[in-house]
Structure 1
Amino acid sequence: MQLISVIGAGVVGLATAVQLQQAGYQVTLIDKDGPAAGCSSGNAGHFATEQVFPLASFAVLRQLPIMLLNPTGPLRLRAGYLLRALPWLLRFVANVAPGRQQALQQALSALNQQALPAWQRLLAVTQAEDLVQYRGALLVSEQVSLKKLAATFSQYQQAGVSVRWLEQAALMAREPTLSRKVQGAIEFPDVAHTVDPYALCMRLFAKFQALGGEFRQHEVRRIRAHADGYMLDLAEGTAAGYSGQMAQQIRTPQLVISAGAWSHQLCRQLGWKVPLEAERGYHLMTQSRPLQCPVSSLERKFIMTPMLQGLRLAGTVEFAGRNSKPDYRRAKVLLRHANQLLAEPTAADPQAEPWAGNRPSLPDSLPVLGACPKHPGVFYNFGHQHLGLTWAACSAEILLATIRGDKPAVAVTPYRINRF
């Protein structure tokens, strides 16, 4: 039995570990905080296979000047972080060129086409089908003319995304609890959502352990080449309070780095300087659950997803540094937005605190996926930005095929680590 270690127990690392363990590998899964401790528990729960457009666009660039001025807007760049974020932003802007946009859209679409079929296979293996619902999703607009929504609809059609146009009457029949301020919507009929992202991750974790996988709660401080592969220097994890003391070492012939917003630090030890930025998102839970499917706002740039515990209000993009203190005003303002879109106002769940987490984002909106060109036996699966939940299952399948030397369903060339 071949040994392999996976660093990172978010949804991407969990899916990867399950796939490897099921395929006959003996997997050691390592995470300093435990399974689903970051964005994997706090995400919007939306399998966003309709999102085939890279984040870099002229529309986003036009908003950059106001990012410093509105602390609760959909985009935020903290003034004190501007200089540190500038190299990433310059790379981001370079992806706006039309030819580059087309290539990135094709690479995004390739993963999105595999996403839900891969999840259906993984859900069957992990007995988690009850946690995913296939009710589509809506993008709504409050503009009376609906011109901007119509232009967006045309963009999705041209990109090959399955969409339907809903006038207000059809929209109200679809989601009767929406406010009459909402004038129309684009429906995405072929997408899905999970009613509990954390529970979904824990089903993956339970299956991983049932298959014989081993979990170690430690921080990987150092990766060193070794005669038999690689040596991982581990420090004590955070369960009982992080001590920073070296706990032990693990020898592993093969290694997968899937550590989310911390992945670039590990890659640097292997000779790669990856332009990964921690892009913070927020969510707030409500007491009621009035919607049947996820609803996004074209103007307000946030999403409302019905979950078992209530309605999750999620979104916003903030560049402030991974270790900066969250600004929970950004979560609380989402409730005000939601109550503009709902016919009956809802309230925040007093038992659920506002949440913040760091998405691992790369300037071209693509993940790092595949084998390391420099170090045999090292593989990467990180940087999924807003689509970690969406791509977790398919990127795990692609990586498994790569590790086994098989031909993956999607060519990994656009996602290689040496593209930067």
Structure 2
Amino acid sequence: MTVTNSAAAAEQAATDTGNAMEAQTRAFFVDAAIWVQTHWLQILIATSIAVGIVLLLYWLRSWGTKLCQRSDGPMGWGTILGRAVSRTGSFFIVMMSVRLVSNYAAPPEMLEKTIAFLFTVAVVFQGAVWAREIILGAIEKRTAAENYHGEALLSALGLIRLLVTVALFAIALVVVLDNLGVNVTGLVAGLGVGGIAIGLAAQGIFADLFAALAIIFDRPFRRGDKVMYDQTVGVVEEIGLKSTRVRSFDGEVRIIANKQLLDKEIQNISNRDHIRIKLPVGVAYETPPEQLEALPDMLTGIVEEAGGTIARASFEGLGASSVDFFLWFDIPGDDWPTAHKVRDAVIIGILRRFAAEGISIPFPTQTTYTADPQGKLILPYPQVQPVMRVDKEQGER
């Protein structure tokens, strides 16, 4: 009996639902017919305006396509905007035109709600398409400007395109469902939990991916730059999806994960505008004070003759076996072979000038003194008795 009553109730509910839908459909067509009869002039004018708006929007879309085709040089913001405009869909164009003229035609309430809903769907998904094209265009613009290329970068861009597309259209879908009256709280929570689970499962890959994006946008270095980190000095050969390859000056290729690379202190040698050489010089204590006073100007002249720029030429202190002097000078550019030649010329110039002036660079020396328990100095070798000369004749006497 209970099963029979449930089946009957379900059948009755289905019948009621069908009757309600049939009644709503009939009412919709009746209202539409009355609306067309009473507002035919407004409908005609609104239709004409809508057709004009459609043609204008189609022209704008074709203009965006031509803008993309005319751009032969590096990608700019005009090209990115043109590509986004060229991705405008026909559904959005039609719904935009209808929405702009719908109030003028004063449609029935049900038709007005339908137009408003379809317009919302068109705007939300079209906005997602535009946002995707602008974001991806900005990334491609940056990578093209920095000369990043390679199969790994194409894979990275493909993965970025997928992630951006999924994220934007998921947001668009949630917005549309919310406009339909659906409770999206559970859906958003489920998407959040799923995203966290995927992030935890692939956190290493995503960490290196975001590190690669940070390298592309923050530009700490680019392909072809000379960098130094830890004990490695080399040239960046490739910036990939997960790792960066650096050709060291010793010849081998060093591969390091992007995340680990950004965690280190990186010195971009290519961006330096000069190379600083630090050269300590020791002068003997026997050097006259007049020559010591002239030493800074003397060394400055030697550095300038060799092609360097003096940064510091001053005494450092009194060493164990010499008067210590520090000479710092800069060499323009970042070419180490040239810097080495200038440094060698400075060293040879110092030796020649010291030889001409009679200034000596002492060897490290140390004098040791020995004393007995009473404090009296003791020679490091035994005392030799003096030899007395004995006259032969005196000896015979």
TM-score band, normalised by the shorter chain?
Answer: under 0.3
| Structure with greater strand share of residues | 1
TM-score, normalised to structure 1's length? 0.20
Q: Which has the greater radius of gyration?
A: 2
| Structure with greater helix share of residues | 2
